C-alpha cells in the first residue's frame, strides 16, 4: 500500500500549487514514492475523523501503515529521512539542510503568511494601504538576506535538498506580490526548482484535481 496524503477537494488557489500538499507531493515525486490522495472538502477537514489525524483540521496529512503525521515540514522530513535524494548522507550537511527547512517555515513563511492574510482579510480596510508597506518590508528583510546567502549558487547548500524544496515552496507564494523580482537571483532559484521533473509531476497532479473539480 502506498502512503496516503490529504489535499483540498477545492483548493482556494485554483490550481496554482500554493496549498500545503504541494511540498509533500513534490518530495514524494523527488524520491520516486507513489502515493494516494484523499480529497477533503472544507467541512470534512473540520470533522472529528480528520481532526484525529490533524489536530488543527487542515491539510495535508500523511498515513503510511502505522505512521500518521501532520505538518508539511514534518512530512517532508519524514520522507527525506526514509528515501535517498533529499538529504546529504554526510551528517553536517544533513543537519544544515534540515536547518534550511526550518528557516523556510520559521523565518520566511510567517511574514509571507502575514501578507497573504492582509490581502485577503484587510484589503477593504481604510488602513490597508498604510499597513501593507510594513508587511512587505518584513518580507524584504528576509528576501535580501536569503538573496545574499544564495549568491550565484544553484541551491542553498550544495546539491538540491529538502531545504531547497521547502524554501522554494514558500517563495512561490510571493509570486503574485512582485517582491521576489526585487532580488533577481530568487526568481531564478524558484524557476530552477519548478523546472525539476518531480516538481512538474507534483504540480500537474494538484492541477488535475482543480481541473476535475471545475468540470463538476
Q: How far apart are CB 191 and its own copies at their closest, in Å? A: 21
Q: How far is the CB of 9 from its own copies (least distance, A)?
A: 21
Are the C-beta atoms of 185 and 147 separated by less than 8 Å?
Answer: yes
Q: How far apart are CA 159 and CA 100, in angstroms?
A: 13
CB of 214 to its own copies, least distance (A): 29
CB of 81 to its own copies, least distance (A): 9
Do 212 and 206 form a contact (C-beta atoms < 8 A)? Answer: no
Residue keyed to cell 517582491: 179
Whose Cβ is closer to its own copies: residue 146's or residue 209's?
146
Q: Of 109 and 164, which CB lies nearer to its own copies in the complex structure?
A: 109
The contact set with its own copies (CB under 8 A) reads: 51, 55-58, 66-75, 77-78, 91-92, 95-96, 98-99, 101-103, 105-107, 109-110, 113-114, 117, 121-122, 125-127, 130-131, 134, 138, 142, 145-146, 148-149
* CB closer to its own copies, 163 vs 209: 163
CB of 5 to its own copies, least distance (A): 14
Considering the complex, what minimum distance in angstroms separates the CB of residue 216 from its own copies? Answer: 30
Max Cα distance, the chain (Å): 53
For the residues of the chain, what is the DSSP string, one character each?
Answer: ---EEEEESS-TTTTSS-STHHHHHHHHHHTT---EEEEE-HHHHTSHHHHTT-TTS-S-EEEETTEEEESHHHHHHHHHHHSTTSS-SSHHHHHHHHHHHHIIIIIIHHHHHHHHHHHHHSTTSTTHHHHHHHHHHHHHHHHHHHHHHHTT-SSSSSS--HHHHHHHHHHGGGGGGTGGGGSTHHHHHHHHHHTSHHHHHHHHHHHHHHHHHHH-
Nearer to its own copies (CB atom), residue 21 or residue 109 = 109
Task: Using the minimum distance from each CB to its own copies, give the nearer residue, 110 or 212.
Answer: 110
Q: Work out how close the CB of 173 gets to its own copies at its nearest, in angstroms, rounded to a whole number.
A: 13
Of 136 and 209, the one with the shorter C-beta distance to its own copies is 136
In the bound state with its own copies, the residue whose beta carbon lies nearer, of 134 and 200, is 134
Amino acid at each position: 500500500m502506498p502512503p496516503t496524503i490529504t489535499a483540498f477537494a477545492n483548493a482556494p488557489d485554483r490550481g496554482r500549487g500554493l496549498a500545503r500538499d504541494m511540498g509533500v507531493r513534490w518530495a514524494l515525486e523527488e524520491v520516486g514514492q507513489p502515493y494516494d490522495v484523499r480529497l477533503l472538502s472544507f467541512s470534512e477537514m473540520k470533522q472529528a475523523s480528520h481532526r484525529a489525524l490533524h489536530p488543527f483540521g487542515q491539510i495535508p496529512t500523511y498515513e503510511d501503515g502505522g505512521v500518521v503525521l501532520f505538518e508539511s515540514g514534518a512530512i517532508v522530513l519524514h520522507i527525506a529521512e526514509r528515501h535517498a535524494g533529499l538529504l546529504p548522507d554526510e551528517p553536517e550537511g544533513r543537519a544544515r539542510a534540515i536547518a534550511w527547512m526550518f528557516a523556510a517555515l520559521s523565518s520566511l513563511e510567517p511574514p509571507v503568511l502575514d501578507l497573504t492574510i492582509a490581502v485577503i482579510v484587510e484589503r477593504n480596510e481604510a488602513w490597508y494601504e498604510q499597513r501593507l508597506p510594513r508587511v512587505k518590508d518584513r518580507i524584504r528583510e528576509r528576501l535580501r538576506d536569503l538573496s545574499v546567502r544564495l549568491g550565484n549558487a544553484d541551491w542553498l547548500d550544495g546539491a538540491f535538498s529538502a531545504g531547497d524544496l521547502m524554501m522554494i515552496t514558500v517563495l512561490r507564494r510571493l509570486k503574485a506580490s512582485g517582491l521576489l523580482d526585487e532580488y533577481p537571483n530568487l526568481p531564478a532559484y524558484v524557476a530552477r526548482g519548478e523546472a525539476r521533473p518531480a516538481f512538474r509531476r507534483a504540480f500537474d497532479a494538484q492541477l488535475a484535481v482543480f481541473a476535475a473539480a471545475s468540470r463538476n
